């Protein structure tokens, strides 16, 4: 008997999901469907995205609702438009052999009139993002008084996105006796709190241990010097010719910069971030889904709800600020029973963050070595060989050229031909990677070099490094005020709201110090420090007598001492391009969040103050 029938799902639904390729229930479906089918429990399911949780709640909903009635009976709330559409589509697919099932997707960024019209025609299942749902409720355009089930999907994400109040307001319009089913990838205290608030002795199901990532994901980290980060990243990509990955950055600017640098270097990449219009985002996602893009560079927020299967790698170009986000990021790979790799490219100072994620996930991460140039060449060579072996020949189209091709090669042996054919691509990699430096940094070395990088502004880490003009500023605080360089950096960033990454050389003296900022940030710093006091003493900032410095001269920008910065060797539209990775991108750095691990000068140490999210 079909295992879904055994779980209590009716034939017409089982037939529909069989057509989708669902032969056996996933673990979460196996365990939650029997519980949810009773319709009498509140429910908390701790499950990663990609585990099949949509069907875990979707199939029971289809069993439990009365589709002869045309009023809303189930409300599914989820954090993003993408997820909203996905869930709606999935439920429609599960129910395609049933009669009179009406599911509506309610989300922002699309015509509300269309959605209102669909609601008016009669729906039983409403799948919604909180903001638009509330809008529709406020227009009194929907009646939730007969709702029997509310599903809170990706509850942690909804809270992360600040939807708590909206959810409260929406749920207050539903009957008290409804059942609430909550799904979340992680279980931070906020989610616990809403589970407590909305539910009555819920049945709890934890797939794996709490906050544990998907077991099919391998976690790796690479330690590199900050200035080698972009080169190391590209080498990892080159070492994985069939990569279909999502690369996470912390800010929109970084996302954009990395994507631009990759495109310039000939990779098949694009960015997804909040500054894009919905139309632009849809376009990027369409290309990614269709695999016209190989690398999607995204921020955490933009990547929420991305439900693309077969993502082979998640790359943390920058580690996230919160541990929970790591789980969300890595959950974009290894979906639907597949395996995947989650890679973090870090400097030695970030090792502590890795250890913290390991503790949270209860999983050991593998320290991996950046492949050598030789490794990359070998890997690429065999990738070409496999491609030749597996290529689909279009007999009809190529037939007309065969005689000429044969003629061209008539004097060549098979061995010679194969050697030459494979060499076409191989030579490029050989050329590119000859003398490629070792990019692995030892823990001590990476820490030291990073400090050095800051002290001489030779930082070349990341694509967006490049020359920028800096101004040296004087500040009347120094070591007698118990500042070291890191403390001062934190203080400057907190007070003037500029990114730590944009601050250049810092010289801490006795009663004063000097620090450098990009010329365009001078005004921001001056304004930020206006009326600033430190321990009751006015803080004074002045442009130092030494004036501005063009870092091009003092640091050598992206290239230094004749050392080659690695460019990538990638494909774009079949055309391979090579290029250096350096771009003049420093202008963009100041929007970085900065200040992450800095001492907090607002009074209490940061750790003592209540934090909404768990930070490293």
For residue 297, report the phi and psi dihedrals to the nearest 5 degrees: -100, 120
Interface segment toward ligand AMP; rule CB under 6 A; list 48-56, 127-135, 350-358, 482-490: 48-56
Pick one of 7, 36, 50, 154: the residue that binds ligand AMP (CB under 6 A): 50
| Closest listed residue to residue 476, CA positions, set 454, 503, 509, 499 | 509
For residue 303, state whether it binds ligand AMP (rule: CB under 6 A).
no
Q: At what angle do helices 323-330 and 351-361 cross, to 10 degrees?
A: 70
Pick one of 45, 52, 340, 467: the residue that binds ligand AMP (CB under 6 A): 52
CB nearer to ligand AMP: give 90 or 586.
Answer: 90
Q: What's the min distance (Å) between Cβ of 214 and ligand AMP?
A: 10
Residue 334 contacts residue 214 (beta carbons within 8 Å): yes
Give the whole-angstrom CA distance, residue 460 versus residue 441.
Answer: 15
Residue 346 is given by DSSP the state E
The 331-370 contact track toward ligand AMP, x by CB under 6 A, reads ----xx----------------------------------
Pick one of 307, 350, 453, 459: the residue that binds ligand AMP (CB under 6 A): 307
For ligand AMP (CB under 6 A), the number of binding residues is 17
Q: What's the min distance (Å) between Cβ of 463 and ligand AMP?
A: 32
Residue 122 token pair: 């009669």
Interface segment toward ligand AMP; rule CB under 6 A; list 18-26, 140-148, 157-165, 169-177: 18-26
Q: What's the min distance (Å) between Cβ of 573 and ligand AMP?
A: 28
CB nearer to ligand AMP: give 49 or 465.
Answer: 49
For residue 304, state whether it binds ligand AMP (rule: CB under 6 A).
no
Q: What's the min distance (Å) between Cβ of 30 and ligand AMP?
A: 9
| Closest listed residue to residue 244, CA positions, set 282, 304, 290 | 290
Strand ranges in 59-120 using DSSP code E only, listed in sequence order: 74-77, 103-106
CB nearer to ligand AMP: give 254 or 307.
Answer: 307
For residue 21, state whether it binds ligand AMP (rule: CB under 6 A).
yes
Residue 587 is given by DSSP the state G
Q: What's the min distance (Å) between Cβ of 549 and ligand AMP?
A: 53
Interface segment toward ligand AMP; rule CB under 6 A; list 22-30, 249-257, 275-283, 544-552: 22-30
Q: What's the min distance (Å) between Cβ of 337 and ligand AMP?
A: 7
CB nearer to ligand AMP: give 21 or 574.
Answer: 21
Interface segment toward ligand AMP; rule CB under 6 A; list 51-59, 410-418, 490-498, 524-532: 51-59
Q: What's the min distance (Å) between Cβ of 21 and ligand AMP?
A: 5
Q: What's the min distance (Å) between Cβ of 2 and ligand AMP?
A: 11
Q: Is 340 helix (H, G, I), strand (E, B) or coil?
A: strand
Count Cα atoms within 13 angstroms, Cβ side, for 74. Answer: 29
Give the whole-angstrom CA distance, residue 512 versus residue 507.
Answer: 9
Give the whole-angstrom CA distance, residue 272 versus residue 259.
Answer: 9
Give the whole-angstrom CA distance, residue 465 versus residue 588.
Answer: 10
CB nearer to ligand AMP: give 246 or 384.
Answer: 246
Q: What's the min distance (Å) between Cβ of 153 and ligand AMP?
A: 9
Q: What's the min distance (Å) between Cβ of 213 and ligand AMP?
A: 14
Pick one of 54, 115, 129, 440: the residue that binds ligand AMP (CB under 6 A): 54
Residue 133 token pair: 């749902």
Q: What's the min distance (Å) between Cβ of 78 and ligand AMP?
A: 11
Q: Is 562 helix (H, G, I), strand (E, B) or coil?
A: coil
* Long-range pairs of 533-541 with CB within 8 A, sequence gap ≥ 24: 534/477, 534/481, 534/491, 534/601, 535/481, 539/475, 539/476, 539/477, 539/495, 540/474, 540/475, 540/476, 541/473, 541/474, 541/475
Q: Across-strand partners of 577?
A: 570
Which uninterrupted H or E stretch holds 169? helix 164-171
Q: What's the min distance (Å) between Cβ of 48 and ligand AMP?
A: 8
Residue 58 token pair: 């979707």
Q: Which of residues 556-615 bind ligand AMP (CB under 6 A)?
A: none
Q: How large is the C-alpha radius of gyration of the chain?
A: 28
Task: Give 545: exposed, middle or buried? Use CB within 10 Å, 0-12, 13-18, 19+.
Answer: exposed
- Sign of the CA dihedral with 316 first, then 320, 326, and 330 last: negative
Kindly report the length of the chain.
Answer: 616
Q: What's the min distance (Å) between Cβ of 152 and ligand AMP?
A: 15
CB nearer to ligand AMP: give 62 or 269.
Answer: 62
Q: How many CB atoms lie within 10 A of CB 216?
A: 17
The full DSSP string for 296-331 is EEE-HHHHTT---TT--EEEESS--SBHHHHHHHHT
Interface segment toward ligand AMP; rule CB under 6 A; list 16-24, 393-401, 405-413, 595-603: 16-24
Pick one of 25, 213, 245, 466: the residue that binds ligand AMP (CB under 6 A): 25
Q: Which of residues 498-517 bind ligand AMP (CB under 6 A)?
A: none
In this structure, the strands spanning 313-316 and 269-272 are unpaired
The 65-104 contact track toward ligand AMP, x by CB under 6 A, reads ----------------------------------------
The full DSSP string for 382-441 is HHHHHHHHHPPP-HHHHHTTHHHHHHHTTTS-HHHHHHHHHHHHHHHHHHHHTTPPP-B-
Residue 52 is given by DSSP the state S
CB nearer to ligand AMP: give 288 or 433.
Answer: 288
Interface segment toward ligand AMP; rule CB under 6 A; list 45-53, 164-172, 413-421, 525-533: 45-53
Pick one of 53, 81, 250, 264: the residue that binds ligand AMP (CB under 6 A): 53
Residue 212 contacts residue 363 (beta carbons within 8 Å): yes
Maximal C-alpha separation, the chain: 88
The 396-415 contact track toward ligand AMP, x by CB under 6 A, reads --------------------
Pick one of 31, 32, 49, 115: the residue that binds ligand AMP (CB under 6 A): 49
Q: Which of residues 416-455 bind ligand AMP (CB under 6 A)?
A: none
Binding residues for ligand AMP, rule: CB under 6 A, are 20-22, 25-26, 29, 49-55, 307, 309, 335-336
């Amino acid at each position: 008997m079909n295992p879904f029938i055994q779980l209590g799902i009716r034939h017409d639904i089982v037939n529909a999901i069989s057509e989708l390729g669902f032969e056996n229930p996933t673990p979460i479906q196996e365990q939650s469907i029997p519980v949810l089918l009773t319709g009498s429990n509140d429910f908390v399911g701790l499950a990663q995205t990609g585990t099949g949780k949509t069907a875990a709640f979707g199939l029971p909903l289809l069993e439990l609702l009365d589709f002869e009635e045309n009023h809303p009976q189930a409300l599914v709330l989820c954090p993003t438009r993408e997820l909203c559409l996905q869930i709606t589509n999935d439920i429609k697919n599960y129910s395609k052999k049933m009669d009179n099932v009406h599911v509506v997707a309610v989300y922002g960024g699309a015509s509300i009139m269309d959605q209102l019209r669909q609601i008016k025609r009669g729906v039983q299942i409403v799948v919604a993002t909180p903001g638009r749902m509330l809008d529709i409720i406020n227009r009194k355009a929907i009646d939730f008084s007969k709702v029997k089930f509310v599903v809170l999907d990706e509850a942690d994400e909804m809270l992360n996105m600040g939807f708590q109040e909206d959810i409260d307001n929406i749920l207050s319009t539903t009957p008290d006796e409804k059942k609430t089913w909550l799904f979340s990838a992680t279980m931070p205290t906020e989610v616990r709190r809403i589970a407590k608030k909305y539910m009555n002795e819920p049945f709890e199901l934890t797939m794996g241990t709490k906050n544990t990532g998907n077991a099919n994901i391998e976690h790796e980290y690479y330690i590199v010097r900050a200035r080698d980060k972009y080169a190391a990243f590209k080498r990892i990509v080159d070492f994985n010719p069939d990569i279909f990955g999502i690369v996470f950055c912390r800010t929109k600017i970084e996302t954009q910069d990395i994507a631009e640098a990759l495109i310039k270097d000939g990779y098949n990449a694009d960015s997804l971030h909040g500054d894009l219009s919905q139309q632009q985002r849809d376009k990027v996602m369409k290309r990614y889904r269709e695999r016209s893009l190989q690398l999607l560079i995204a921020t955490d927020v933009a990547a929420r709800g991305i439900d693309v299967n077969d993502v082979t790698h998640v790359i943390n170009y920058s580690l996230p600020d919160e541990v929970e986000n790591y789980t969300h990021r890595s959950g974009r790979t290894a979906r639907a029973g597949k395996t995947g790799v989650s890679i973090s490219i870090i400097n030695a100072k970030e090792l502590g963050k890795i250890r913290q994620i390991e503790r949270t996930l209860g999983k050991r991460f593998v320290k991996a070595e950046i492949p050598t140039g030789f490794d990359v060449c070998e890997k690429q060579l065999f990738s070409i060989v496999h491609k030749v072996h597996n290529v689909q020949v279009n007999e009809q189209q190529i037939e007309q050229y065969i005689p000429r091709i044969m003629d061209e090669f008539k004097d060549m042996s098979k061995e010679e031909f194969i050697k030459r054919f494979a060499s076409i691509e191989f030579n490029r990699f050989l050329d590119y990677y000859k003398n490629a430096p070792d990019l692995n940094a030892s823990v001590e070395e990476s820490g030291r070099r990073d400090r050095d990088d800051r002290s001489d502004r030779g930082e070349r880490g990341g694509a967006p490094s490049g020359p920028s003009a800096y101004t040296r500023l004087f500040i009347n605080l120094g070591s007698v005020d118990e500042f070291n360089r890191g403390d001062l950096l934190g203080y400057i960033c907190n007070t003037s709201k500029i990114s730590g990454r944009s601050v250049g050389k810092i010289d801490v003296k006795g009663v004063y110090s000097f620090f450098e900022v990009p010329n365009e940030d001078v005004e921001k710093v001056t304004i930020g420090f206006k009326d600033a006091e430190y321990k009751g003493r006015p803080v004074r900032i002045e442009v130092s007598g030494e004036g501005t410095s063009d870092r091009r001269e003092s640091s050598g920008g992206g290239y230094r001492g004749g050392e080659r910065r690695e460019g990538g060797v990638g494909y774009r539209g079949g055309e391979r391009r090579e290029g250096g990775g350096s771009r003049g991108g420093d202008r963009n750095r100041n929007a970085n969040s900065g200040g992450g691990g800095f001492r907090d000068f607002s009074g209490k140490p940061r750790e003592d103050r209540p934090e909404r999210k768990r930070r490293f």
